[in-house]
Amino acid sequence: MNAAVPIAGNRFVIIGGASLVGSATAGELLDHGAAEVVLFDNFAFGSEDAIAHLRDNPRLRLVRGDVMRLPDLLRALEGAQGALLLAAHMTLSMDRDPWGGLDVNIRGVQNALEACRVNRVRKAVFASSNAVYGYGPNVSGELVEGTPFHTVGVPPAAVIYGATKIIGEALCRDYHRKHGLDTVVLRYCTVYGERQHYRATNALFIIETLDRVRRGERPIVLGDGSETKHFVYVGDLARANRMAFAADATDVAVNASGPRPITTLELVRLVTRLAGGGPEPEFIAEDRGRVRLTSGGAFRIAHEEAARTIGWRPEVDMEEGLRRLIAWRAGNEPRPAAG
């Protein structure tokens, strides 16, 4: 059976759509001829600003609803051919509210998949995370899809978040095998780009560095700056979501990472240079009170399997992606999240 869902002429629902990735993916689907894109969100984390540039599109519809209310999802997914499951608590919010995070990241995913089953949605794409590998002192080298979950030395909130994504992936496999729902799991790296927010642990590092440089303050580097990060540009990720729907692939989980990893010192120096220059970074000891996803060694999150299964490769390197983010920020006042 062909698992491909063509974009042109079909209806898609993005659950958690009023978000950085949701808005970029909506634009991608609309640009490729989707008949309608529904953004489903309760605005607990999503924002009107993230989708303001799309609101005038007649093929876009906004539905306020909650993944914890199955009837909301059942209504929103009526007549949909594809569903992108983005709604989730990330590590920072998981640290503040683990009960709520467990509900949304597990029961919310289960509700979304059940609504897909009832409405005979042809394909669900689930936004997982490279947090399924854990980030501790033993993580190094190539992280491929079969790499196990490391928890030693990882902050509890990051372990809980990663574990919920592992469960979400298992629920996708369960619905495929029991009910025939075609699913593709994309393990996102840390996402950055235009309309960047203040809620993701590692992307926050980019935006805080930019803010400090703009104020003429020294950017902060924790430790010696050798810690590895792996980011993916939001436009590349939107393309991966689209290609996951359109590919004849199902019951797979693949990494969606940027072209190459970067160290925190390299990142700080790159942001400083692209922002027009600034003071030298300040190296400080580890902040024990801050939740971060950390790695003790150099690693690379391999994306070759995504090329093989859905035909996707990242195209935007870190310098170009940061250039686009900084240009966007130059014309938009930052709006830090309350609290």
Taking only the tens place, the pLDDT of each residue in 301-312 is: 999 999 999 999
Average pLDDT over residues 50-76: 95
- Lowest-confidence segment of 156-165, 253-262, 285-294, 306-315 by average pLDDT: 285-294
Q: For the ranges 6-10, 48-52, 238-242, 313-317, which has the lowest average pLDDT? A: 48-52
Is residue 86 pLDDT above 70, yes or no? yes
CA dihedral 147→5→193→302, nearest 10 degrees, is 20
For the segment 42-68, the average pLDDT, to the nearest whole number, is 91
pLDDT at 57: 96
| First CA to last CA distance, the chain | 49
What are the residue boundaries of the structural domains of the chain, listed by start? 11-191+233-258+297-316
Average pLDDT over residues 330-337: 62
Note the pLDDT of residue 335.
52
Once rounded to an integer, what is the mean pLDDT over residues 90-110?
94
Per residue in 218-244, pLDDT tens?
Answer: 998 888 888 888 999 999 999 999 999
Asked if residue 13 lies in contact with residue 38, where contact means CB atoms within 8 angstroms, the answer is yes
Give the closest residue to 107 by CA, choosing from 83, 126, 88, 92: 88
**Mean pLDDT of all residues belonging to the chain:** 90
pLDDT attached to residue 314: 98
Position 150 scores a pLDDT of: 87
Provide CATH code, domain 11-191+233-258+297-316. Answer: 3.40.50.720
Does the structure show a pLDDT above 50 at 339?
no
Q: Is 253 in a helix, a strand, or coil? A: strand
Strands (E), 94-196: 123-129, 141-143, 182-188, 190-192
Half-sphere exposure (Cβ direction) of 238: Cα atoms closer than 13 Å:
22
Choose the weakest-confidence range: 144-153, 204-213, 270-279.
Answer: 204-213
What does the pLDDT look like over 315-333, one tens digit per residue?
999 999 999 999 988 877 6
What is the pLDDT at residue 295? 55
**pTM of the predicted structure, to 2 decimals:** 0.93
Burial of 55 (0-12, 13-18, 19+ CB in 10 A): exposed
Q: Write out pLDDT tens, residues 20-35.
A: 999 999 999 999 999 9
Residues contacting residue 33 through CB under 8 Å, at least 6 positions apart: 7, 8, 9
Q: Give the residue, 332 or 246, on which the prediction is more confident.
A: 246
pLDDT at 337: 47
Q: Which of 134, 112, 139 is nearest to 124 (CA)?
A: 112
Single out the residue of 165, 156, 15 nearest to residue 92, CA to CA: 156
Is the model's pLDDT at 253 over the cut of 90?
yes
Residue 338 banded pLDDT, cuts 50, 70, 90: very low
Q: What are phi and psi of 224, to 5 degrees?
A: -95, 0
pLDDT of residue 202: 58
Residues 40, 25 contacting (CB under 8 angstroms): no
Q: Which of 133, 231, 245 has its CA nearest to residue 185?
A: 245
Higher confidence at residue 334 or residue 266? Answer: 266
CA 241 to chain centre: 10
Count H helices and E strands in the chain, helices first. Answer: 12, 15
Cα 67 to Cα 42: distance, rounded to the nearest angstrom:
8
Residue 36 DSSP label: E
**Whole-number Å distance between alpha carbons of 172 and 163:** 14
Residue bearing tokens 């940061």: 322
CB atoms within 10 A of CB 208: 15
For the ranges 105-109, 201-205, 268-272, 313-317, the lowest mean pLDDT is seen at: 201-205
